[in-house]
Amino acid sequence: MTASSVRRLATWLIVAVSVGYPALGLLYLLAGRLDASLIVLSALAGCGLTHFVNMRAALRGTRPPWFPLSVVAQAVVTYLPDPFLPAGWSGVTAQLLACTFLLLLPLWAALPLVGLMTVVAGGGVLASLGIPVVAALYGLTVPLTGVMVLVVVRLVHATRDLESARAELAEAAVLKERLRISRDLHDGLGRSLTAIALKGDLAARLMDRDPGTARAEVGDLVKVAREAAQDVRQVARGYRRLTLGGEVQRAAALLEASGVSVQVNLAATEPPPPSPSEETLAWAVREGVTNVLRHSTATTCTITTAAHAGRLRLEIVNDGAAGAGPSGGGLLGLSERAAQAGGTMSARAEDGAFRLSLEVPA
């Protein structure tokens, strides 16, 4: 049920309550007393107007105009005619006032007032009919009606808040998906495009003096381009299953092809790390190697992992730190990945080397 349909239902229910009880007051018109009839009509008009103003504000979740005078005005037109009409007259409009009290006043003030109104309504009926059971039952209509309308109005507010929350969650989900695609494209295509550029340059240099090696490099370039296309399709499907071993193998091959000496030392882990942890480490290898190729003048690079106290630590160290600062967008995305996996990341330059460290649950 939507907020608009709940609001319509609540409106019709409140209208039924607001019309039903005062309609009982019209029975006074059947008595044929002109003076009483005029008083009844005036009282019903005053109650209807003030109640409409107060209920409209309550449904909107706001204060009515001239609050709290609007509440006081409804109370006055509810009880002022009592001395001029037969006993129990206010019992046909007190229910409306109870709704206003419970919706617009703090409970510490509304509850005692509604209790007093219940006693007055029951007492008026008892004085008119002299039947205690009927008087008690009619008196209870005051709090019951007020509580019923209070629950209905709160339901309207809750439904409206729920729809608003759903809209915000949908917007957040769209934003999250956009960030995921942006991060995956950056991290995934960064290495592939860097490899394509390096292999293209190498093939161009070897074209004249070593055509066979140049053709091999072009073949590797085509292979990397196909992998990049596959990466794009996987990003679109939202599936990015990476393995640490496979990513380290590709990273080592790319670094060696670029003239960077690579040392790899991966610790054996039993049982294997959780999937989120392994994927985070694999993304770290991809981002770290991309930074080495793009932003450094490294000649050596080491990739090591170590397991200790239920944690798995990855370190990528190169000897050409220039330009590989921790504020880049790729490292920022990697830090977010590490946090999502329950880990931490650090990146710093020291003694001419750049060290990327990442620790996740093993």
- What is the Cα–Cα distance from 119 to 263, expressed in whole angstroms? 89
Q: 315 falls in which pLDDT band (50, 70, 90)? A: very high
- What is the Cα–Cα distance from 160 to 290, expressed in whole angstroms? 48
DSSP secondary structure of 37-96:
HHHHHHHHHHHHHHHHHHHHHHHHTSPPTTTTHHHHHHHHHHHTTGGGS-TTGGGGTHHH
What is the Cβ-side half-sphere exposure of residue 69, based on CA atoms within 13 angstroms? Answer: 2
Of 186 and 348, which is predicted with more confidence? 348
pLDDT at 65: 83
Q: 327 falls in which pLDDT band (50, 70, 90)? A: very low
DSSP secondary structure of 51-66:
HHHHHHHHHHTSPPTT
**Encoded tokens for 280:** 């985070």
Note whether 226 and 189 are within 8 A (CB): no
pLDDT at 304: 93
pLDDT at 212: 78
Q: Is 156 left (phi over 0), alpha (psi -120 to 50) or beta?
A: alpha
**Encoded tokens for 33:** 């007393």
237-264 burial: b if 16+ Cβ within 10 Å, else e:
eeebebebeebbebbbebbeebebebeb
Structural domains in the chain plus CATH codes: 3-167 (no CATH), 242-362 (3.30.565.10)
Residue 132 has pLDDT above 60, yes or no: yes
Burial (CB < 10 A; 0-12, 13-18, 19+), residue 93, is buried
**Encoded tokens for 298:** 């490294």
Alpha helices (H) in 207-328, listed in sequence order: 211-237, 244-257, 275-295
Residue 313's beta-bridge partner residues?
306, 359
pLDDT at 349: 85
Contacts within 8 Å (CB) and 24+ apart, 265-270? 265/302, 265/303, 265/304, 265/305, 266/303, 266/304, 266/305, 267/304, 267/305, 267/306, 267/307, 267/312, 269/307, 269/312, 269/362
Measured between alpha carbons, how far is residue 155 from residues 9, 67, 160 in Å? 11, 23, 8
First and final C-alpha spacing in the chain? 46
pLDDT at 323: 46
Q: 141 falls in which pLDDT band (50, 70, 90)? A: confident
* pLDDT, tens digit (0-9, with 9 covering 90-100), for 22-57: 666 666 555 555 556 667 777 777 777 888 888 888
Average of pLDDT values for 122-138?
Answer: 78
pLDDT at 23: 65
- What is the Cα–Cα distance from 252 to 288, expressed in whole angstroms? 12
pTM above 0.85, yes or no: no
Determine what percent of the chain is predicted with pLDDT higher than 70: 80
Strands 261-265 and 300-308: parallel
What is the maximum span of the chain, computed from C-alpha positions, in angstroms?
120
What are the φ and ψ backbone dihedral angles of 312, each rounded to 5 degrees? -120, 125
Site of tokens 């409306």: 96
